[in-house]
Chains A and B, each alone.
Chain A
Amino acid sequence: MSQSLLLPENHTGPLLRRRFLAVAAVLLLAGTYTVLVLTHPAGLTDGLGQTVALATFAAYLAAALMLLAAVLPDLPVATLSLIPVALALNIVLGQFVGSVFIPLYLDSLGTVLVGFLAGRRAGAATGVLGTLIWSLFNPTVLPFAAGAALVGFLAGTAARFGALRRPYLAPIAGLGAGVLVGVASAPVATFVFGGTSGVGTGAVVAAFRSMGDSLLSAVTKQALISDPGDKAIVFLLAALLIYALPARLNGGFAFVRRHRVLGSRGSR
């Protein structure tokens, strides 16, 4: 008989190990961020700068992989079959939006969709996996895997607490998520890459630097300008796409049913 048709096995060992992994990942991420913000290393290319670059890269990537290892075995089949679609949508829609000269990324639309439909753990896993696969085409995104996980996690959290029950709540949740993601990802951009990866964003960072800001402060301010708007639009688009889905498809996800993610819309 198929394994998935059986009742869940009551093995506490792997479950505890996965919870430990998730907690360790969050602590590693929070610890790295706190140390970087408190110590504020000045050099970028001296011995200390190289140490900080490697340590930040390793810590953020390790935390993302630990989160993935903690979450992946628990995901139901319905979610696992949705994740590849979301990852491909991130890339295909991201490329389409990029090709029409609109200064938005929208490359996390699939991640947010999964977070809305399948919950925060699935959203976080989609964020990490999406970054790992996208890194085959652009290796600079690799250390941002933890930030991508945070986008999916926050999308799931927002959906759980009713951000999809009213259309105007989704972009508000996106704004909040953008602030958190921007703040969390700024140390990677600062200490691993010495700034940003685009000329437009680089110009904004340079402008803040010329006003006397430190590099971390300038990159954080730039992220706070770019990310909230982008995430607000992504959350709104994802919410509108979910409203357009037939109720039988939305209702197929246990997360949507259990937490009444769509409110009265879900029962139509």
Chain B
Amino acid sequence: MHQLPRTGRLHPFTVLVLAAAVVAITTAAGRWWLHTAVLAGCLLLAARAKRAGKLVRLGAVILVPAWGSHLLIHGLIDTGGGHVLAAAGPLRITTEGLVTAGQLGLRTGVLVVAGLLCSMLIDRHDLVAAVDLSSAPPQAGYLLAATLSLLPRLAQRQRAIGQAQALRGIPLAAGPRGWWRSVRLRSVPLVLSSVQDAADRSAYLAARGFPAKGAHTRLREVPDSPAQCWVRRVALGAMVLGPVALLAPTWVGQG
């Protein structure tokens, strides 16, 4: 049976606003120890929700290429730094360049790990319900719900199309021609059937007066409390005022 994460009693917006505030303040502070502490805190929270392995795997898929790019751009070819560690041809490795690459890597790391943790801890049905109950246009909730439910169905349909094409015994050639043939054989039936489904669905939606206006009853209740409302307000304030308070002295110094 699917086990709910331990933040199941938090409103999705509370989790999102807290994460946004943490990312904004950490980026503004720009201290390596704060970045490291936030990363460790995220891993700890993920471990409590029994999702640490997944967080590390998904984070690595995004972060390893990004860190490689930072290392190439700033670490190996630094044009500004004075402390040269090695230089050969276009390569110029400096202490300043490596520090910049490390700081940018940590900044990106906090954004990725905090964002992924949010998406792991938030129940997607709660998120859809929260968007629906918020002051966002009613279309936004429908689009979020429809996309999240369509994704696995379309992936399944694409696999079925691939199996059907294989059963037809269509050989796939190597190289660009084989790639093009493969894309065509899979995407044309997928897009045709999906657009047909969308056309059918739109008639039913229009017949039911979509988008509904005014208050309507929802069967799903989103966990919330006055304390969480207060936390969200404080986090929103911190997200805006925290970076300003941290960075204002540097603006004065540069002015």
Contact = CB atoms under 8 A, between A and B. Distances in A.
Interface of A: 1-5, 44-48, 50-51, 53-54, 68-69, 72-73, 75, 77-78, 80-85, 87-89, 91-93, 95-97, 100, 102, 109, 113, 129, 133, 135-140, 142, 193-199, 201-203, 205-207, 209-210, 212, 215, 218, 237, 241, 244-245, 249, 252
Contact of B62 (A47, A140, A202): A140
Given A47-B250, A92-B190, A197-B62, 13 more contacts: A45-B30, A51-B243, A54-B27, A69-B137, A78-B198, A85-B198, A88-B194, A193-B108, A194-B108, A197-B69, A198-B65, A198-B69, A210-B91
Given A54-B28, A241-B188, A139 B111 contact: yes
Contact of A197 (B66, B99, B179, B187): B66
Nearest to A214: B79
Given A47-B247, A77-B210, A92 B155 contact: yes
A3 B28 contact: no
Contacts of A54: 24, 27-28, 243, 247
The SS class assigned to the A binding surface is helix
Interface string B227-252: 00000000000000001000101110
A47 B73 contact: no
B195 A133 contact: no
Contacts of A206: 72-73, 76-77
A47 B151 contact: no
11 contacts: A45-B99, A69-B137, A78-B199, A84-B147, A97-B183, A109-B187, A129-B143, A140-B62, A193-B104, A198-B69, A202-B69
A197 B188 contact: no
The SS class assigned to the B binding surface is helix
B202 interface: yes
B140 interface: yes
Contacts of A92: 151, 154-155, 158, 190
Interface stretch (B45-53, B112-120, B217-225): B112-120
B207 interface: yes
A198 B196 CA distance: 36
A50 to B, nearest CB: 5
B22 to A, nearest CB: 12
A81 B69 contact: no
A11 to B, nearest CB: 12
B65 A199 contact: yes
Contacts of A89: 154, 190-191, 194
Nearest to B250: A47
B110 to A, nearest CB: 10
A237 B183 contact: yes
B56 to A, nearest CB: 15
B30 A50 contact: yes
A245 B194 CA distance: 11
B146 interface: yes
B95 interface: no
A51 B104 CA distance: 14
